[in-house]
Amino acid sequence: MEVLIVGDAPAAGVLVAEIIAQHVQPGVSLGLATGSSPLPVYRELIERHARGELSFAGVRAFTLDEYVGLPRSHPESYHSVIRRELTDQVDLDRVDAPDGQATDIPAEAARFEAAIVEAGGIDVQLLGIGTDGHIGFNEPGSSLASRTRVKTLTQQTRDDNARFFDSVDDVPHHVLTQGLGTILDARHLVLIATGSSKAGAVAAAVEGPVSAFCPASVLQLHPHATVVVDEPAAAQLRLADYYRFAAENKPDWQRF
């Protein structure tokens, strides 16, 4: 795992956008995340596209998760969010997402898994992290081998996400999410975490035991995981100075 510490959230966004841009070429499949953390990444990708420096022609995208029961037309469905924040603003029109309104949820989960396989797998998966250590919507207790399925949100996650709704009561209890095993199948994982509220979860994910209690700790099992954090989110990392030294002295031949 590579841990890259930068000054603030905008800098984290630019760095992660650079990592993703290095993957972008026809035939590639991107894994996209929602939440606030990826927004600076998407802004940077959109700006590069607007300047004519980056094209998503021939690129496919898959989202991580979706609320169960929320109509796709709802402004806070992840189907709507990812279009609004990224794909409608660039030349990326092949976006697949789990359908949280499917009448047969297990069949929809199986369809989504098969679509990822049919696309040749996900080349680079962008991830945020919840304050309780979730990635996608894999809450604590998620099997480290899990596939796309329904999960029940913790109250902590519903409280965290209430800011996107009129009230916490409007935040759905159930979600459809790529499993931790699904996420591990992507060829490169890039996690972005910014702000002091993420410091505990980041430390548990990077330096704690690999455990379903902190689902993001599953990144420790992946051969190519990059964690980009700003200073406040890095505050509880015990090996922060080592990560800084390694990044500053990175050999030229070593890629992200």
Q: Give the x/- contact pattern for ligand GLP in 168-187, rule: CB under 6 A.
A: --------------------
Q: Does 28 bind ligand GLP (CB under 6 A)?
A: no
Q: Does 137 bind ligand GLP (CB under 6 A)?
A: yes
Catalytic status, residue 159: no
Q: Does 215 bind ligand GLP (CB under 6 A)?
A: no
**Shortest gap between Cβ of 254 and ligand GLP (angstroms)?**
27
On the 0-12 / 13-18 / 19+ scale of CB atoms within 10 A, 208 is middle
- Which of 15, 28, 54, 129 binds ligand GLP (CB under 6 A)? It is 129
CA atoms 196, 199, 200, 202: torsion sign? positive
Catalytic status, residue 53: no
Rg of the Cα atoms in the chain = 17
Phi-psi region of 120 (alpha: psi -120 to 50; beta: other; left: phi over 0): left
Please say which residue, 158 or 244, places its beta carbon nearer to ligand GLP: 158
Q: Does 34 bind ligand GLP (CB under 6 A)?
A: yes
Q: Does 64 bind ligand GLP (CB under 6 A)?
A: yes
Query: At residue 149, what is the residue type?
Result: R
Residues of this chain that interact with ligand GLP (CB under 6 A) are 33-37, 64-65, 128-130, 136-137, 157, 161
Which residues participate in catalysis according to the annotation?
Answer: 65, 132, 134, 139
